[in-house]
A = this chain, B = another copy of it.
Amino acid sequence: MSLFGLSLGRLIEALCCLPGVGPKSAQRMAFYLLESNREGGQRLAQALLEALDKMTHCQTCRILSETDLCSLCADSRRDHGQLCVVEMPSDVQAIEQATNYAGRYFVLMGHLSPLDGVGPEALGMDLLAKRLDTDQIREVILATNLTVEGEATAYYISELAQTRGITTTRIAHGVPLGGELEFIDSNTLSHAFQSRQHL
């Protein structure tokens, strides 16, 4: 890429870190930003720096948040008795949009994956266990993905809950096996959420 200068090469390389973006589309994006939309490029750089600076994780549910307590955890109208456990913040968003669930959340930020060195600590299971001990939770709703890792993670958490005598449910198999929550249409997800089963 030294044909056009080092800074363009560095930009293309940096764009390649985005999910789903290969060298060819990174190049297309770089040319577009430099040729046709410099204002958009400036806005993107600023928005990125601002988000990286401001966004942190909620101390209670681990969701992405600009504050130590996220807006969901801070909302006193939401039921403390129900705790829905998901893998990613985008799953919370999908459930909020598709259902009328009004309980609390816990975001694992991943799933158990021993081969990748992701164990219970990395998923905040100690924080989760503390909430199960102290939050007077009636029901844990397991809404991890219906993948092998998501199922194993749900099983692990169901053990945590059941040793504490807490009812545990799993969102229904209505979501296709291997499917990831954030790509399921709202109707299917809403149905699966409604027909969750006792484990």
User: Which residues of A are interface residues toward B (Cβ below 8 A)?
Assistant: 2-8, 10-11, 13-15, 17-20, 25, 27-35, 37-38, 40-55, 63-67, 70-72, 88-90, 92-93, 96, 109, 182
Pick the contact of A43: B14, B37, B43, B109 (CB < 8 A): B14
15 contacts between A and B (CB under 8 A): A3-B93, A7-B53, A7-B54, A11-B50, A14-B47, A18-B29, A18-B32, A18-B44, A19-B28, A27-B90, A30-B51, A31-B64, A31-B89, A33-B51, A34-B52
User: What are the 6 closest A-B residue pairs judged by CB atoms, nearest first?
Assistant: A5-B66, A17-B40, A14-B47, A11-B51, A14-B44, A45-B48
Contacts of A40 in B (CB 8 A): 14, 17
Contacts of A47 in B (CB 8 A): 7, 10-11, 13-15
Query: Are A10 and B50 touching (Cβ within 8 A)?
Result: yes
On whether A7 and B44 interact (CB within 8 A), knowing A29-B18, A89-B31, the answer reads no
Query: Are A48 and B11 touching (Cβ within 8 A)?
Result: yes
User: Could you say which of A10, A65, A93 has the most chain B C-beta atoms within 10 Å of its C-beta?
Assistant: A10
Pick the contact of A64: B35, B70, B93 (CB < 8 A): B35
Main secondary structure of the interface of A (DSSP, over half): helix
- Min CB distance A18 to B, Å, is 5
- Min CB distance A45 to B, Å, is 4
Contacts of A90 in B (CB 8 A): 27-28, 31
Contacts of A54 in B (CB 8 A): 5, 7
Bound-state Cα–Cα, A6 to B54, Å: 10
Bound-state Cα–Cα, A17 to B40, Å: 6
Query: Are A52 and B42 touching (Cβ within 8 A)?
Result: yes
Bound-state Cα–Cα, A52 to B40, Å: 11
Smallest CB gap from A55: residue in B: B34
Bound-state Cα–Cα, A41 to B31, Å: 19
Contacts of A25 in B (CB 8 A): 19-20
